[in-house]
Structure 1
Amino acid sequence: MTRHEPYPGDMALTDDRFRRLVPHAAWDALPEDVRRRFSKRLTGQATATYSGEIVWTRLSGAGWLLAQMCRLIGAPLPLAASGPAPAAVAVSEDRLSSGQCWTRLYGRPRGHPQVIHSAKSFSGATGLEEHIGGGFGMALTVRAEGGALIFTSEHYFWRLGRVRLRLPGWMTPGKTVVTHQHLGSGRFAFDLKVTHPRLGPLVNQHGLFRDG
């Protein structure tokens, strides 16, 4: 993937790390809400928050099993299929990695809400990685299309200190795609899809959010 230099005349407090991953013309074609949302400079104690609901979560049998197994590394996937439930997302700067910390709080019909933590770092072959716990993570590509930013897994890896291993395809859940779709008036849809090449769709989640 080709990385792009910052736009000339950018404001000093504008975070251009996401837009460097997308061609200039494609970024400029995104709705202003999306560009602003992914250009916030979260310095110091600043946090960006988004509230809304998870409209539905669907898990296949294999997807449910995968989600339970992932409890060992911090439960990064929804643990159960469910209907509408309140949700909130908080994003802050990760000072150690010069990336971002993402915390998602999802209500559940029974029991405590599920809290999902991950960290995004602007590094690696694709320019963006998401670390989900236990040393596991995925390299992501980013594209802008139809008023949306779309994040797609390029490969998965495991890292311990300076040791980093790229996981072979048979050890991974398949392709992960996260879509941030503009809806207007400060609202957006969040869609998560995990699809295995042989087992088909494992996880399918749809949420609606608004700027905090």
Structure 2
Amino acid sequence: MIARGVAAKVGIAAAAAPTSPPLGDLRFRRLVGEADWVTLPEAVRARFAHRAAGGHVILYAGEIVEAQRSRCGWWLTQAARLVGAPLPLGCEIGVPAAVSVTEDPATGGQCWTRIYGRRRGFPQAIHSAKRFAGPTGLEEYLGLGFGIALVLRVEAGALHFDSDHYFLRIGSVRLRLPHWLAPGRMRVSHVDLGDGQFAFILALHHPWLGALVHQVGIFHERPERGDAP
């Protein structure tokens, strides 16, 4: 009886609690520009205009459908493990993948976690932080001070995150890496496929070594989760 009474009170409180409307996010819209923003599909605009604040998390689930890597790409992937392994270690297709996005109150940016399943061994987790700062207005921090300055572009109805340059931050000092030290031009694309699905495409191309890494994942948005009880 006591347990049922407590449960009933909790249910009443939950039903009576007001639901807060989704918090709008204009950060990506400002970087893209109004003229290009309105050309994006409505679903893409909705995904990048929703802020995961108040302890909430945005979840995407899917699978990897394409994965290629050159020999030089393999060596680069292994070397990048020194800064947190920001590139996919495997080239398996048909494996599950998940992406979570949360707000970073300390910097006003976002924390991204990508999880790639494997047929053998533990899944790979890639952590990075997007900050709305720097000369391009958007930077992605990978680990040990390394980061990428990104430029947002809209082409053919898709949203692209293009690398502008790579940098190393040591304390308050930000050192821009010369082009000959950079791993190549990176493009991460968000392509809407309709019916709540989208493609997440990672491409890394070096001017001398050619295509290094190429990965395509198909995702759909999961229901938003709040704070754990």
Give distance in 2, aligned partners of 1:193 and 1:40: 26
Contact 1:57/1:78 (<8 A) preserved: no
Q: Per the alignment, in what secondary structure is the counterpart of residue 51 of structure 2? A: coil
Q: 1:110 to 1:27 in 2, by over 3 A?
A: same
Q: Which amino acid aligns with 1:192?
A: L
Are 1:129 and 2:146 matched, yes or no?
no
Q: Per the alignment, in what secondary structure is the counterpart of residue 36 of structure 1? A: helix
Instruction: Using the aligned pairs only, state the percent identity.
Output: 56
Contact 2:22/2:50 (<8 A) preserved: no
Query: Going by fraction, where is helix more abundant, 1 or 2?
Result: 2
Give distance in 2, aligned partners of 1:185 and 1:80: 28
Give distance in 1, aligned partners of 2:209 and 2:47: 35
Are 1:211 and 2:221 matched, yes or no?
yes
Q: Which amino acid aligns with 1:133?
A: G
For 2:71, the equivalent position in structure 1 comes to 61
**Under a length normalisation based on structure 2, what TM-score does the superposition of the two structures give?**
0.86
For 2:94, the equivalent position in structure 1 comes to 84
**Aligned residue among 104, 107, 110 for 1:100:** 110
Unmatched segments (≥5 aa) in structure 2: 1-20, 223-229
String of CA shifts for 1:54-104, please: whole Å, max 9, x gaps.
112211001011111111111000112222110000000011111000000
For 2:168, the equivalent position in structure 1 comes to 158
**Under a length normalisation based on structure 1, what TM-score does the superposition of the two structures give?**
0.93
Say which is worse superposed, 23-32 or 91-100, in terms of deviation. 23-32
Task: Report the Cα offset of residue 28 of structure 1.
Answer: 0.9
**Aligned residue among 193, 196, 212 for 2:206:** 196
Unmatched segments (≥5 aa) in structure 1: 1-10
Are 1:19 and 2:29 matched, yes or no?
yes
Give distance in 2, aligned partners of 1:162 and 1:116: 25
Give distance in 2, aligned partners of 1:192 and 1:130: 14
Q: Which amino acid aligns with 2:141?
A: H
For 2:159, the equivalent position in structure 1 comes to 149
For 1:3, the equivalent position in structure 2 comes to none
Q: Per the alignment, in what secondary structure is the counterpart of residue 200 of structure 2? A: strand
